[in-house]
Amino acid sequence: MQQPSEDKAPTESRPPTLWQMLHSIMAAAFGVQSGKNRERDFTHGKPAHFLVLGLIFTVAFAALLFGVVQLVLYFALP
């Protein structure tokens, strides 16, 4: 019979999925990252993956802000 800790071990040793990494990047960008997720990322995640996704998120967020400002200025100015 397996112990409960043995059932969880393979799941905890796997690297984070793409969705989990995106969630971590968005949470960290807004300063609401949980300690459990941060520990998982530092333990099992690869820094290069987080750097690339972080840069993509930053560029996309900046482009979104730029687009919103341009849209507001377009409708606000006669």
Where in the sequence is the domain holding 52, given as residue range(s)?
A: 4-76
State the DSSP H helix or E strand holding residue 69, giving kind and residue range, or none if neither: helix 47-76
Residue 25: pLDDT over 70: yes
The number of folded domains in the chain is 1
pTM of the model: 0.73
Task: Give the mean pLDDT of the chain.
Answer: 87
Q: Dig out the tokens for 76 from the structure.
A: 């606000």
Assess contact for 26 and 53: CB atoms under 8 A.
no
- Residue 28 burial (CB count, 10 A): 16
The three-class DSSP label of residue 21 is helix
